[in-house]
């Protein structure tokens, strides 16, 4: 389907005197018809550049690439290539052209000059293939992220492609949106036989592919079926990636089993269900399983912030009225590290905007140290200083000429003295791990992860008592995710502030926070220590939230009659819990 040989590509904008660095470097690639290929690699490894070569959006500087037998360097092939290899991009908003779903799906075939009656047929077929038929007359801006991506896929399908290239289509979606897209793509591959090239930062998604290609610095550095590629977690980590947690767990277990001289578990495990089967075969079940030990919650630290029966209704009194928060009561304690979890539309974003008085409750009140945040208008500024809110994709609000000036924007608005501002800015930048070398740089010249950290520093410089971060890891690669979360934990300890981490990713939250708060349909569904909250796995699954994978495994093992603790959130802890069982199982059979 795709055959690239000796591909080399340079982006033209090069600084004077710098030796041009190729984005693709002598790369050979071939994709077979009907294959599902996943491409992994850290940001800047050349994945997107490669994807754009498959669609003839970029042409190789050296080497050639044949798509469906057509050479992309031959100008007359361009339209044929783009028709046979469709492309879906990362940002769902920026690839929908028309104001109606069906008009947008029709855009491709219209450009190809297809007869109107046939376009109509193709549009309804394509929308049916992605389960979006009932939305054909909707306006794109009223759809969810997952729905928009499915429309984008339908738009490509309507061109009758042989191959679809998806460039991080799930990066900006929540778990349910990710699943929608993934299921759609899998179905198209299996049922329609469409070749799929899928770029992603999520290892669990890549694990579903037939073959995985790992890129770094414009080259392919690893290649093979996922079971083989993910067997090398250290290698992957050095490339800024990681392996699925199940794979890592089995590898860690095997390492210790080897040390104990015990037989190993089968290699090549990709998900927790496979791991469960492998472990269950060998581990020793205990006769009695005591009920889940629930650690006591509720300590006596004073509440710093309190939501009292807060209800918020969007567009009250109009046809679009929607209850976003429904009688929410919640306490945030001083010095606490809380995780707020919920999928899109659960009300979590609305709630945090109430915390610093960006939104005003329809009824109920929010208090900070006992005082109503909306009580005195002249104190709004001080409320917003005390409760720092970092929005999603905070790097999108950078605007100044230099990093220093941008971070100084907050303190300046507080009317502080120059020396005080300077001190706060340096402190804030140091707290996010940015050194003096970036002070005078333009924020727009920083790397993705650095930009985000600079933006977080912009809020930190206000020296808030409570720092709220909304999805701070959205859109980052695995290494970037780890870095930013580590930075937040360090920052919390150094600055001794209360932190609320908002996320839809359980793994991210579970191992770090003291308390998990689960929002669902405008209400607080659960709150308490992670172990307690994750014991409601079934209810959480119903809300479209999954428990962390190690916790999932422990739960399933308990159901099978193995005695393992429930409050386990990391691979390391899971290993410690399972190893004795495996050792005992082995001892018993000997």
Partner 1 sequence: MIANITIGQYYPADSTVHALDPRLKLLAVLVYIASLFVAKGPANYVIAAICLGAVVAISGVPIKFIVKGIKGILFLMLFTAGLHIFFTTGDTLLFSAWFIKIYLEGVTTALLMGSRLILLVMASSVLTLTTSPLELADALERVLKPFKRIGLPAHEIAMMMTIALRFIPTLIEEMDKIMKAQTARGADFDTGGLVKKAKSLIPLLVPLFISSFRRADDLAMAMEARCYRGDINRTRMNTLKMSRTDFWAMGVLALYLGIIIVVRIFFE
Which of 85/182 has CB closer to partner 1? Answer: 85
- The structure tokens listed for 66 are 């044949």
Would you put residue 34 in left (φ > 0), alpha (ψ -120 to 50) or beta?
left
Which of 179, 314 has the CB closer to partner 1? 314
Separation CA 254–CA 583 (nearest Å):
11
Q: Please choose, out of 250-258, 407-415, 562-570, 575-583, the segment that lies near partner 1 by the rule CB under 8 A.
A: 407-415
The SS3 of residue 270 is coil
Which residues, numbered 143-202, are part of the site for partner 1 (CB under 8 A)? 155-156, 159
Structure tokens, 560: 């099978």
Q: Are 303 and 479 in contact (CB under 8 A)?
A: no
Residue 391 binding partner 1, by CB under 8 A: yes
The footprint of partner 1 on this chain (CB under 8 A) covers a number of residues equal to 67
**Choice between 278 and 383, CB closer to partner 1:** 383
Rounded least distance, CB 403 to partner 1, Å = 14
Category of 357 on φ-ψ map: left (φ > 0), alpha (ψ -120 to 50) or beta: left
For position 576 contacting partner 1 by CB under 8 A, the verdict is no
Q: C-alpha distances in angstroms, 148 versus 101, 157, 342?
A: 9, 14, 20
Residue 213 tokens read as: 């290609």
Token representation of residue 214: 């790992």
Strand partners, 211: 37
Q: What are the residues whose beta carbons fall under 8 Å from the beta carbon of 32, sequence distance 6 or more?
A: 1, 195
Residue with smaller CB distance to partner 1, 300 or 318: 318
Where would I find the beta strands (DSSP E) of 321-461?
322-333, 337-341, 363-368, 371-372, 387-390
Measured from the CB of residue 434, what is the shortest distance to partner 1 in angstroms?
Answer: 17
| Binder among 72, 356, 498, 535 for partner 1 (CB under 8 A) | 356
Q: Is 574 in the site for partner 1 (CB under 8 A)?
A: no
Segment near partner 1 (CB under 8 A); pick from 224-232, 338-346, 409-417, 523-531: 409-417
The distance of closest approach from Cβ of residue 78 to partner 1 in the complex, given in angstroms and rounded to an integer, is 9
Beta strands in 334-397 (DSSP E): 337-341, 363-368, 371-372, 387-390
CB of 556 to partner 1, least distance (A): 40
Of 59, 73, 100, 430, which lies in the binding site for partner 1, with binding defined by CB under 8 A?
100
Q: Which is nearer to partner 1, 356 or 487 (CB)?
A: 356
Give one word for 242, left, alpha or beta, with left for phi > 0 and alpha for psi -120 to 50: beta
Helix and strand numbers (H, E) in the chain are 22, 20
CB-nearer residue toward partner 1: 221 or 358:
358
49 touching partner 1, by CB under 8 A: no
Residue 293 interacting with partner 1 (CB under 8 A): no
Give 388 or 528: the residue with its C-beta nearer to partner 1: 388
Instruction: Name the one residue in this structure whose structure tokens are 């001892």.
Output: 587
Q: How far is the CB of 362 from partner 1 (least distance, A)?
A: 12
Q: Where are the beta strands (DSSP E) in 440-553?
A: 466-470, 498-503, 515-520, 523-528
| Nearer to partner 1 among residue 94 and residue 295 (C-beta) | 94
8 Å CB contact between 522 and 359: no
Q: Does 140 bind partner 1 (CB under 8 A)?
A: yes
How far is residue 314's CA from residue 325's CA, in Å, rounded to a whole number? 9
The interface region with partner 1, picked from 32-40, 65-73, 86-94, 200-208 by CB under 8 A, is 86-94
Mapped onto helix, strand or coil, the DSSP state of residue 542 is helix
Pick from 42, 47, 82, 201: which binds partner 1 (CB under 8 A)? 82
Contact pick of 7, 212, 236, 459 for partner 1 (by CB under 8 A): 459
Please provide the DSSP assignment of 300-316 as one string.
-PPEEEEEEEEEEEETT
Q: Does 397 bind partner 1 (CB under 8 A)?
A: yes
Using CB under 8 A as the binding rule, whether residue 83 contacts partner 1 is answered as yes
Q: Which region, judged by CB under 8 A, interacts with partner 1, from 87-95, 207-215, 287-295, 571-579?
A: 87-95
Site for partner 1 (CB under 8 A): which residue of 4, 146, 345, 410? 410
Q: Could you say whether residue 112 binds partner 1 (CB under 8 A)?
A: yes
Q: Out of 79, 301, 436, 587, name the contact with partner 1 by CB under 8 A.
A: 79
* Contact indicator for 345, 519 with CB cutoff of 8 Å: no
Question: Is the Cβ of residue 120 or residue 523 nearer to partner 1 in the bound state?
Answer: 120
Interface residue with partner 1 among 10, 89, 202, 439 (CB under 8 A) is 89
Q: How far is C-alpha 221 from the chain's CA centre? A: 24
Q: CA-to-CA distance for 189 and 208, rounded, in angstroms? A: 11
Q: How far apart are CA 233 and CA 413, in angstroms?
A: 47
Distance of CA 75 to the CA centre of its chain: 38
Choose one: 8-16, 65-73, 117-125, 244-252; the region binding partner 1 (CB under 8 A): 117-125
* Residues forming the site for partner 1 (CB under 8 A): 55, 57, 79, 82-83, 86-87, 89, 91, 93-100, 102-103, 106-116, 119-120, 123, 139-142, 155-156, 159, 314-315, 318, 320, 353, 356, 358, 381, 384-385, 388-389, 391, 394, 396-399, 409-410, 412-414, 444, 458-459, 462
């Amino acid at each position: 389907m795709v055959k690239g040989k000796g591909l080399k590509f340079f982006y033209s904008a090069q600084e004077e005197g710098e030796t041009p660095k190729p984005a693709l470097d002598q790369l050979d690639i071939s994709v077979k018809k009907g294959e599902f290929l996943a491409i992994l690699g850290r940001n800047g490894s050349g994945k997107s550049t490669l994807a754009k070569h498959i669609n003839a959006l970029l042409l190789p500087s050296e080497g050639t690439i044949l798509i469906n037998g057509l050479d992309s360097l031959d100008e007359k092939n361009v339209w044929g290539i783009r028709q046979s290899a469709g492309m879906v991009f990362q940002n769902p908003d920026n690839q929908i052209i028309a104001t109606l779903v069906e008009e947008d799906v029709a855009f491709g075939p219209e450009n190809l000059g297809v007869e109107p009656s046939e376009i109509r047929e193709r549009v309804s077929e394509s929308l049916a293939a992605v389960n979006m038929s009932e939305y054909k007359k909707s306006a794109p801006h009223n759809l969810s992220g997952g729905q928009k991506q499915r429309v984008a896929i339908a738009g490509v399908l309507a061109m009758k492609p042989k191959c679809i290239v998806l460039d991080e289509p799930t990066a900006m979606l929540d778990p349910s949106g990710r699943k929608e897209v993934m299921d759609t793509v899998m179905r198209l591959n299996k049922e329609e036989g469409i070749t799929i090239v899928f770029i992603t930062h999520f290892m669990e998604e890549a694990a579903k592919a037939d073959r995985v290609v790992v890129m770094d610095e414009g080259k392919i550095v690893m290649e093979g079926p996922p079971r083989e590629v993910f067997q090398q977690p250290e290698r992957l980590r050095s490339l800024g990636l990681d392996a699925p947690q199940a794979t890592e767990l089995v590898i860690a277990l095997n390492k210790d089993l080897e040390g104990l001289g015990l037989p190993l578990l089968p290699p090549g495990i990709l998900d927790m269900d496979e791991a469960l089967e492998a472990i269950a075969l060998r581990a020793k079940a205990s006769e009695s399983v005591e009920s889940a030990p629930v650690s006591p919650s509720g300590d006596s630290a004073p509440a710093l912030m309190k939501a009292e029966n807060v209800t918020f209704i969007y567009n009250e009194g109009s046809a679009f009225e929607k209850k976003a928060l429904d009688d929410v009561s919640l306490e945030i304690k001083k010095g606490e590290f809380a995780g707020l979890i919920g999928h899109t539309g659960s009300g979590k974003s609305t709630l945090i905007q109430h915390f610093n008085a960006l939104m005003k409750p329809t009824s109920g009140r929010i208090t900070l140290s006992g005082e109503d945040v909306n009580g005195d208008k002249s104190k709004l500024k001080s409320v917003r200083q005390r409760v720092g809110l970092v929005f999603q994709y905070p790097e999108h609000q950078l605007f100044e000429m230099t990093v220093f000036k941008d971070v100084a924007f907050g303190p300046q608005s507080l009317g502080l003295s120059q020396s005080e501002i300077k001190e706060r800015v340096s402190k804030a930048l140091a707290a996010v791990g940015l050194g003096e070398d970036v002070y005078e740089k333009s924020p727009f010249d920083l790397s993705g992860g650095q930009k985000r950290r600079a933006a977080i520093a912009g809020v930190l410089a206000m020296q808030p008592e409570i720092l709220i971060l909304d999805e701070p890891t959205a859109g980052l690669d695995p290494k970037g995710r780890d870095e930013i979360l580590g930075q937040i934990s360090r920052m919390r300890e150094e600055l001794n502030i209360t932190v609320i981490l908002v996320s839809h990713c359980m793994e991210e939250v579970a191992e770090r926070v003291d308390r998990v708060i689960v929002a669902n349909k405008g209400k607080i569904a659960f709150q308490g220590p992670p172990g307690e909250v994750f014991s409601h796995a079934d209810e959480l699954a119903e809300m479209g939230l999954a428990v962390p994978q190690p916790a999932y495994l422990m739960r399933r093992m308990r159901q099978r009659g193995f005695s393992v603790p429930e409050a386990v959130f990391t691979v390391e802890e899971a290993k410690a819990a399972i190893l004795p069982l495996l050792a005992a199982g082995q001892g018993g059979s000997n």
